[in-house]
Amino acid sequence: MDIVTLSRMQFGMTALYHFLFVPLTLGLAVMLAIMESIYVTTGRTVWRDMTKFWGTLFGINFAMGVATGITLEFQFGTNWAYYSHYVGDVFGAPLAIEGLMAFFLEASFVGLFFFGWDKLSRPAHLFATCMMALGTNLSALWILIANGWMQNPVGSAFNIDTMRMEVTDFAAVVFNPVAQSKFVHTVSAGYVTGAMFVLSISAMFLLAGKHRGLAVRSITLAASFGLASALSVVVLGDESGYTAGQNQKMKIAAIEAMWETEPAPAAFTVIGLPDQAGRVTRHAVQVPWMLGLIATRSIDGEVRGIKDLVADNRLRIERGMLAYGAMRTLRANRSDTQARAVLDANVADLGYGLLLKRIAPNVVDATQAQIDEAAWYTVPAVAPLFWSFRLMVGLGFFFIALFGTMFVLASRRIVERYRWLLRAAAWSLPLPWVAAEVGWYVAEGGRQPWTIDGVLPTFLSVSDLPASSVALSLAAFVLFYSVLLVVEILLMVRAIRQGPAAHAQPAAIVA
């Protein structure tokens, strides 16, 4: 394994591990605010006990999320030094704002949430809980603004004088349509995770005949909140599909294993067997028109296939070669006006020219065969994307069915009669994490071979390190994070077994 593969494995492992905690933090924070709002408005202490019980589980998860998130951000400087140099002026700004604005807000009010119960009035403590929930969502917003720019690098331009990408329109970076659609979709998925966590553990309580008061109320809240969130995920996922169809056409074509451009509106492939070597999808079962409606929201919009997109990228690589040659000329003679004009005309395709550095000793002298190889290199791994997307979508519809059924039965107060459904809810506990992780893979794996789509190839982004050093740190991370995961599970199980009685308000204080 080379340094690029090892660096990707390390970042992917830490990101996937960190993303175990992020969705639950997002979902539980909002649900805690809802529970405490009911307590403040009704004065019923059972809702206070519920808030404190679920808040304990939130705190364990929050601490693990902070620890893993800090490690993740440091990797930009250790394993991805050229990436940090090349795009740090753009990418670093949202991350800095996230730390200064969102993380400090979130961390401060987390402290008030846990230690302010007997020191703050009910409305003041509720305010702290709501601000904690707001902080978690703002943190996700700025991180996804940074990630959205990696998917759709708007509001920035390459500066030949500094040899870096620089911000030209910060508002365009913030209001990037890809970032906004990713934010609402990801946050809604987090709400589903929090709702399933509460629903599953409450179902376990009912199956064991424990803590009925907390469990019934928690199921009612989780089912209603989860149903609304799961429906939102589907609707907002459609928006993500539309923005990707406008800005990341290769990702959409790869997700659908669509090799040829079809007459509009394109059909959606429900199942099939993608064959990347043969550049065909075998035994495809399709729904007419569906992909065209999702990706273009029209009946006449074209969804281009992989082969046509590769042909487009071949032309962009050729223009990128011109930009690269002009850049080298300007570095030797900054007053060369002809080279400046060539660079300005082709700078949008400079990143495609950089793809040749992987296979051609001299970019400007690349052969047609090397250009063809680089063009096909822009196609991500089709089969993993194809099946990951369908797993994510299938789980999304399962969540709607489960939450909807539980909501109806809980509203009629007969959910305890259906023990098979309670068992299904209990066994469904890990499924939102599965959906979130494969969704993350679809978003990030579909962008390959780019760290910044169309701007900076992944293989150029890594630090100049010995592969053995990254392999050693990867092994250390796997070992350390595995221990952390075991510790977190043990702490969670211990808190769940203690139940809400450990957080109940003493009778003298209640009186």
> Can you point out the beta strands (E) in 90-163?
156-159
How many domains does the chain contain in total?
1
Report the percent of the chain where pLDDT is more than 90.
61
Largest CA-CA distance found in the chain, in angstroms, rounded:
85
The DSSP annotation for 145-175 comes to HHHHHHHS--SEEEETTTTEEEES-HHHHHT
Buried b (16+ CB within 10 A) or exposed e, 50-88: bbbbbbbbbbbbbebbbebbebeeebbebbbbebbbbbb
Q: Is residue 206 part of a domain?
A: no
User: Which whole-number Å values give the CA distances from 451 to 80, 147, 175, 231, 421, in the listed order?
Assistant: 10, 10, 20, 31, 43
- The Cα 361–Cα 224 span in angstroms is 60
* Per-residue confidence band for 502, with pLDDT thresholds at 50, 70 and 90: low
Cis peptide preceding 288, ω within 30 of 0: no
Note whether residue 315 is domain-resident.
Answer: yes
Q: Taking the CA atoms of the chain, what radius of gyration do you get in angstroms?
A: 25
Residues 123-165 have pLDDT tens digits of: 999 999 999 999 889 888 999 999 999 999 999 999 888 889 9
Torsion 226-227-229-230 (CA) sign: positive
Residue 346 lies in a domain: yes
Strands 450-452 and 456-457, sheet pairing: antiparallel
Q: What is the pLDDT of residues 381-440, one digit of tens each?
A: 999 999 999 999 999 999 999 999 999 999 999 999 999 999 999 999 999 999 999 999
Contact of 300 with 265, CB cutoff 8 Å: yes
pLDDT in tens, 109-118: 998 999 999 8
92 in a structural domain: no
In a domain, 478, yes or no: no
The answer to whether residue 312 is domain-embedded is: yes
66-77: average pLDDT: 80
As a whole number of angstroms, the distance between CA 94 and CA 154 comes to 14
> What is the value of pTM for the model shown?
0.91
Mean pLDDT of 277-290: 89
| 284 CB-near residues (< 8 Å, 6+ apart) | 257, 269, 271, 272
Q: Is residue 317 part of a domain?
A: yes
pLDDT single digits (tens) 291-304: 888 888 888 888 89
**What is the per-residue pLDDT for 509?**
35
Residue 271's φ and ψ, nearest 5 degrees, are -140, 160
Q: Which residue range is the domain that position 352 belongs to? A: 306-377
Cis ω for the linkage preceding 265 (within 30 of 0): yes
Q: Write out pLDDT tens, residues 165-218.
A: 999 999 999 999 999 999 999 999 999 999 999 999 999 999 999 889 899 999
- Give which of 381, 379, 315 is closest to 352, Cα–Cα: 315
Query: Of 435, 362, 501, which is closest to residue 191 (Cα–Cα)?
Result: 435
Domain assignment present for 116: no
Model pLDDT for residues 83-120, shown as the tens digit of each residue: 999 998 898 889 888 887 777 788 889 989 999 998 99
